[in-house]
């Protein structure tokens, strides 16, 4: 599929963003959830270096650009209604800025 055809299938929200789940391609662990704008999506697909849109900094963000904890794109999925993306990635170091392996390290028990 070419990039233009894919972009037509993606439903960006009112802010021009789409949620993205990053899953480790080997372990199946869910590493994080973040957001992409059109530019982050294009850059990720053309370079295979995963980029997101930083909502706090309002800027294109190459994952790992400050930490060195880069993500490499392995496989790319779009969901049934086009409003969520799933990336299977290779992850250098921990995915979470806290130093944890994934951002979902808080298990809540009741």
Which positions lie near a copy of itself, rule CB under 8 A?
Answer: 1-3, 6, 19, 21, 23, 28-30, 32-33, 45, 75-81, 84, 86, 96-98, 100, 103-110
- Closest approach of a copy of itself to the CB of residue 89, in Å: 13
Closer of 70 and 104 to a copy of itself (Cβ)? 104
Q: What distance in Å separates the CA atoms of residue 58 and residue 21, rounded to the nearest whole number? A: 19
Closer of 6 and 92 to a copy of itself (Cβ)? 6
Q: Which long-range contacts (CB under 8 A, 24 or more apart) does 14-17 make?
A: 17/53, 17/55
- Closest approach of a copy of itself to the CB of residue 78, in Å: 5
User: Residue 62, class by beta-carbon neighbours within 10 Å (0-12 exposed, 13-18 middle, 19+ buried)?
Assistant: middle
List, in order, residues 6 or more apart from 45 with CB less than 8 Å away: 3, 6, 73, 76
Closer of 27 and 59 to a copy of itself (Cβ)? 27
Q: What distance in Å separates the CA atoms of residue 98 and residue 110, rounded to the nearest whole number? A: 24
- Closest approach of a copy of itself to the CB of residue 104, in Å: 4
Closer of 29 and 90 to a copy of itself (Cβ)? 29
- Closest approach of a copy of itself to the CB of residue 58, in Å: 16
**81: enclosing H helix or E strand:** none
């Amino acid at each position: 599929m070419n990039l233009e055809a894919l972009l037509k299938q993606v439903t960006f929200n009112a802010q021009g963003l789409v949620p993205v789940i990053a899953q480790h391609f080997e372990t199946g662990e869910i590493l994080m959830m973040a957001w992409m704008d059109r530019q982050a999506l294009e850059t990720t697909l053309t370079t295979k270096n995963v980029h997101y849109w930083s909502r706090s900094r309002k800027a294109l963000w190459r994952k790992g650009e400050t930490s060195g904890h880069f993500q490499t794109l392995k496989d790319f999925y779009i969901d049934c209604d086009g409003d969520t993306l799933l990336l299977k990635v290779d992850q250098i170091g921990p995915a979470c800025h806290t130093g944890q392996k994934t951002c979902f390290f808080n298990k809540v028990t009741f």
